[in-house]
Amino acid sequence: MGFKDLVLFNKALLAKQVWRILTQPKCLLAKMLKARYYPHSDILAANVGSYPSFTWRSICSARDLIENGLLWRIGNGCDINIWNDPWLPGKENSRGRSKDLRVWKFEGSGEYTVKRGYRVLSSEHLQNVIVTSPDGTLSVEIICPLCKKGPEDADRLMWSCETLQSVWKSLNIMVPPFESAMGGKICLANTFSTTNEQQRQLMALSLWGLWYRGNKLFHEGVKFSMQETLGFLKGYNQDLNSTREIFSPSSSSLGNEIWKPPDFGFTKLNFDAAFQNDTKIAITVVLAKNSEGNIVGAETYLFKDVTDAFVVEARACERALIMAATLGFQRVVVEGDSLTVIKSIMKRQNDKSVIRPITQNISFLEASFEDISYLFVPRLVNTVAHALALEG
């Protein structure tokens, strides 16, 4: 079922009830617990109390998982305690007309899920059990779960593991002899650079496949046989080759992957963005062209204190509409290479995504146009806007 630690999984399930009580305060369970345990506060601030029921005590034990990931997405500000409540970072969460919403920061949709909750708990648990020596270095030594002949270090994972060598031999991968003094990474690099493309693909697949199987064995106790592993790798390799044949760019397909002008009377707006994670600075670019392919407008815009690239792409689309409205374009086609942003705009539903305030403003800006449509294109088609964004 994808989980091993029942204690952590049970806590992730209980946290789902905490989330439900927070987000659905009018449900029967929330009303009953509030009347009994926290009539003048909320579930996160409530005390366990004297002689609590087993249900209430269990739910309280999972509150920290929700609280550690809980943020407010600011709307009208009526429900926010500005001194104590955690706000969502970034200027994209400025005050607006919508209601304040609680979101869980570890899930992209903003909704708590048991699957993600279990992953967060597992990650925290793994960090807590790692022991460090007095000099600050890790003192835990893990034996290779595949061959069990030595420590699970980079040299063994990439070269000296007997299981890996057996797989390569069975796949007819020609491995030249090297001096024992040479490190595993150097041996792998030398072999990888001298062999053919098909052999390189098999080597990369086997490294990934054994890493994946080793994790399943170590974390979930799922055992595997050599025959099963070889069948999996050969099948995956065959699928990759078939996919490459189907989707490899031919001369005819490459001719289709070009920018196309809009219909007569329309303006096409291509947008893109570049995000620097270290400085939290982003540049958005909008390029407007008419039906003849002539540039009729262009803009670059600097954003500071940006949280992630996903937000920047949404901001770039928003800037495209603002520029088009300023220049008086009435019939526009908005084109970009961020499928997630395009889908989020076209979905037109309320959700808890971090870009939802931006997409709501985009919907508001649409009223300025007679005709507007959105189109996703590959990066190759959006290459001009992309290059301008990188140039800044």
Please tell me the predicted confidence (pLDDT) of residue 349.
67
The helix-helix angle for 162-170 and 197-220 (nearest 10°) equals 140
Considering the four listed CATH numbers 3.20.20.105, 3.30.420.10, 3.20.20.210, 3.40.50.1860, the one that applies to the domain covering 267-391 is 3.30.420.10
Residue 89 has pLDDT above 60, yes or no: no
Residue 93 has pLDDT above 60, yes or no: no
- In whole angstroms, what is the distance from residue 262 CA to residue 80 CA? 45
Q: Are the CB atoms for 272 and 386 separated by under 8 Å?
A: yes
Confidence at 372, pLDDT banded by 50, 70, 90 = very high
Please tell me the predicted confidence (pLDDT) of residue 354.
73
User: What are the sequence ranges of the domains in the chain?
Assistant: 6-127, 154-247, 267-391
Among the listed residues 266, 284, 263, 288, the one whose alpha carbon sits nearest the alpha carbon of residue 275: 284
- Report the pLDDT averaged over residues 237-241: 84
Q: Are the CB atoms for 195 and 173 separated by under 8 Å?
A: yes
- In whole angstroms, what is the distance from residue 267 CA to residue 76 CA? 35
> Does an H or E element contain 245, and which?
helix 226-247
66: left (phi over 0), alpha (psi -120 to 50) or beta: alpha
Q: Of residues 188 and 218, which shows the higher confidence score?
A: 188
Residues 6+ apart with CB under 8 A from 391: none
Q: Of residues 314 and 309, which shows the higher confidence score?
A: 314
Which of 169-183, 231-245, 275-289 comes out lowest in average pLDDT? 169-183
Average pLDDT, the chain: 82
Q: Are strands 101-104 and 267-276 parallel, antiparallel or unpaired?
A: unpaired
Q: Of residues 328 and 70, which shows the higher confidence score?
A: 328
- In whole angstroms, what is the distance from residue 58 CA to residue 193 CA? 57
Residue 374 has pLDDT above 80, yes or no: yes
Among the listed residues 72, 73, 93, 87, the one whose alpha carbon sits nearest the alpha carbon of residue 314: 93
- In whole angstroms, what is the distance from residue 293 CA to residue 135 CA? 64
pTM of the model: 0.49
Confidence at 254, pLDDT banded by 50, 70, 90 = very low
- Report the pLDDT averaged over residues 194-209: 87
Please tell me the predicted confidence (pLDDT) of residue 137.
54
> Does an H or E element contain 287, and which?
strand 281-289
Among the listed residues 174, 165, 149, 167, the one whose alpha carbon sits nearest the alpha carbon of residue 225: 167
- In whole angstroms, what is the distance from residue 384 CA to residue 233 CA? 39
Confidence at 81, pLDDT banded by 50, 70, 90 = low
Rounded (5°) CA angle 135-141-143: 170
Write out the two tokens for 201.
């693909």
Confidence at 1, pLDDT banded by 50, 70, 90 = very low
Residue 135 has pLDDT above 70, yes or no: no
Confidence at 94, pLDDT banded by 50, 70, 90 = very low
Rounded to the nearest angstrom, the gap between the alpha carbon of residue 390 and the centroid of all alpha carbons in its chain is: 22
